[in-house]
Amino acid sequence: MTDLILLKHELLLTALLLIFILMKLGKDISNSSFLKMSNALLLINFIIGFFGNQHGQMFASMFQTNELMALQKNMLNGGLLLISLSSSRWLNNHIHLPEFFMLIVATLLGMFFMISSNNLLVFYLALELATIPLAALCSFDLDKRQSSEAGMKMIMSSAFASGILLMGISLVYGVTGTLAFTEMSSLIASDHLTVFALILLFAGFAFKLSVVPFHLWTADVYEGSPVAVTSYLSVISKGAMVFVFTSVLYQVFKPMQEVMYQLIYIGAVLSMTIGNLFAMRQQNIKRFLAFSSIAQVGFILTGISGFSHTGAASATFFILVYVFSNMAAFAVAGIVSSAIGRETIDDYKGFYRTNPFLSWVLAIALFSLAGIPPTAGFFGKFFLLSAGAAKGNYVLITIAALNMIISLYYYLRIVRAMFMDKNETPIGSVNLSFNERAAIIICIAGILISGIWNGPFHTIHHSVTEAFSITPF
């Protein structure tokens, strides 16, 4: 019974899910009071996540957890809370508010299991749990055609990715005769079949992470989905996948590091370059952020390619930074989109005149994404590149550095539109609600503090070192 504390994060989410269902079944609650209660619950969930974390395994070693995973889950919990706060305007007017929370908590639950999985079967199940509700969420703008299209695209491409992944899993099973990660890593040898299996597995991952060339679904889905879901997709869903990369693939496929390195190298270079080049030409701010997030994945892969504690720590730290930065950017985009209904970059011309506060928020978020000090993004990018450089592959680092220039170019495009361009009819002044203000201030504080203050990075690095010394690889 005491073991159940290992399942704490998952149990909490399940409880939340049940409460939401009960609330929906009970008497009619108005959206605003439902929102208040759900925010309070998410906050409680987030806070409890920090206490009493232990490491250990459950269910015949199919499930494992440790301090690092707990930390990662906390980050995702916090991200969910931020989404709920920042998109309160849109949520408030939605007729299916309880369903939104049920679905989003369900997919987060899937992601938690995915992070903690110690067995390919559990991993696959968790992945599906994480994906299917997401597809429903993508089409949550019920009166928009694009939104249904996004949901459709999401489910189709996910099914395709799952198919590839399953093929990889079955090949791995064929080669090693086991599905447990712990046994697998000692059985894996670098023969052709395993390489093929690894490539298939990697492709499956790459789909979810939208690594080029598996990124084609990303832009359309991001554009069509409601902003709340887009930010969930780009921050939390991606973050979970990155965590899986660092804590699972790192260790399971350790004997095949060379092949992994080649795959990650190609993925990183392509994602950065293509993502950036396409982002330059986007007009819709959500599409723009979609491509920029593809480019960011390239940077994350650069850090992961270092295959070191620092690599895992820097990737995890970058996700933390990314939660704050991207969430701030999406918060502004979402607030503007639901208040005014406009989403193109040209609409942001003259934004500073009418909304100085929101303009600074968006500018700081974009600077953080571009990696400009003193924002946390600078530290995040620097650590990633530094972890990547440890391998001595300076071609990769050079490409990454050049990509930082390109990315600055298009991030500055928005800054320029807001601060410098003249506009006869700028977006009118937007009044922020308490929730939105809270979300934005948390994000900005995170961006400004979590880099300069070395605490977060040290904590993450410490738990990475701990975690890698506990797990018996």
Partner 1 sequence: MNLTLLLIIPLLTAVGVLFCRNAQQVRWLSLAGAAVQFILVMALLFAFYAARSNGNTDAFLFSERCMWFAPLNIQFITGADGISVSMLLLTAAVVLAGVLVSWKEETMAKEFFFLLHLLAFGAYGFFISLDVFTLFFFLEIAVIPKYLLIGIWGSGRKEYSANKLALMLMGGSALVLIGMLGMYYQSGANTFDLIRLSEVHIPYATQLQFFPLLFLGFGVFTAIFPFHTWVPDGHSAAPTAGSMFLAGISMKLGGYGCLRVATYLMPDAAAYYAPYIIGLATIAIIYGAFATLMQTDLKYINAYSSVSHCGFVLLGIGMLNQTAITGAVMQMVSHGLMTALFFAVIGMIYQRTHTRMVRQMGGLLKAMPFIMTVFFIAGLTSLGLPGFSGFVAEMTVLMGAWQNPKTMYRIATILACASIVVTAVYILRATGQVAMGPLKQHDEPLNDARWYEKLAAFILIAGIVAIGVAPFWLNDLITPGAKIIMQKIVSLSR
Tell me, residue by residue from 434 to 463, as one string, x for binding to partner 1 by CB under 8 A and - for no binding: --------------------x--xx--x--
User: Taking the mean position of all CA atoms in its chain, how far away is CA 431?
Assistant: 28
Contact between 394 and partner 1 per CB under 8 A? yes
Comparing C-alpha atoms, which of 157, 117, 160 is closest to residue 134? Answer: 157
Nearer to partner 1, 180 or 365 (CB): 365
Contact between 367 and partner 1 per CB under 8 A? yes
Please report the DSSP string for 35-66 in residue order: HHHHHHHHHHHHHHTTSS---EEETTTTEEE-
Q: Tokens for 329, please give them.
A: 């950017």
Contact between 250 and partner 1 per CB under 8 A? no
- How far apart (Å, rounded) are the C-alpha atoms in residues 137 and 149? 12
Nearer to partner 1, 267 or 380 (CB): 380
Contact between 405 and partner 1 per CB under 8 A? yes
Residue 342 dihedral angles phi and psi, to the nearest 5°: -120, 145
CB of 421 to partner 1, least distance (A): 8
Contact between 385 and partner 1 per CB under 8 A? yes
Comparing C-alpha atoms, which of 156, 165, 134 is closest to residue 216? Answer: 156
Binder to partner 1 among 15, 22, 401, 441 (CB under 8 A)?
A: 401
Residue type, 62: M
Nearer to partner 1, 118 or 407 (CB): 407
Contact between 421 and partner 1 per CB under 8 A? yes
Comparing C-alpha atoms, which of 329, 338, 318 is closest to residue 91? Answer: 338
Nearer to partner 1, 230 or 276 (CB): 276
Coil, helix or strand at residue 117: strand
Contact between 412 and partner 1 per CB under 8 A? yes
Binder to partner 1 among 175, 187, 195, 397 (CB under 8 A)?
A: 397
Nearer to partner 1, 159 or 445 (CB): 445
Per residue, the 3-state secondary structure of 301-330, as one string, reads: HHHHCCCCHHHHHHHHHHHHHHHHHHHHHH
Residue with tokens 């390919």: 120
Binder to partner 1 among 392, 425, 434, 472 (CB under 8 A)?
A: 392
Nearer to partner 1, 65 or 296 (CB): 296
Residue with tokens 């504390």: 5
CB of 274 to partner 1, least distance (A): 19
Contact between 389 and partner 1 per CB under 8 A? yes
- Site residue total, partner 1 (CB under 8 A): 35
Q: Tokens for 33, please give them.
A: 């009071």
* Residues 345, 285 contacting (CB under 8 angstroms): yes
Q: Which stretch binds partner 1 (CB under 8 A): 28-36, 139-147, 175-183, 414-422?
A: 414-422
Nearer to partner 1, 58 or 449 (CB): 449
- How far apart (Å, rounded) are the C-alpha atoms in residues 374 and 376? 7
Residue 57 dihedral angles phi and psi, to the nearest 5°: -125, 155
Task: Name the residues that contact partner 1, by CB under 8 A.
Answer: 309-310, 313, 367, 372-374, 378-379, 382-383, 385-386, 389-390, 392, 394, 397-398, 401-402, 404-405, 408-409, 412, 415-416, 419-421, 454, 457-458, 461
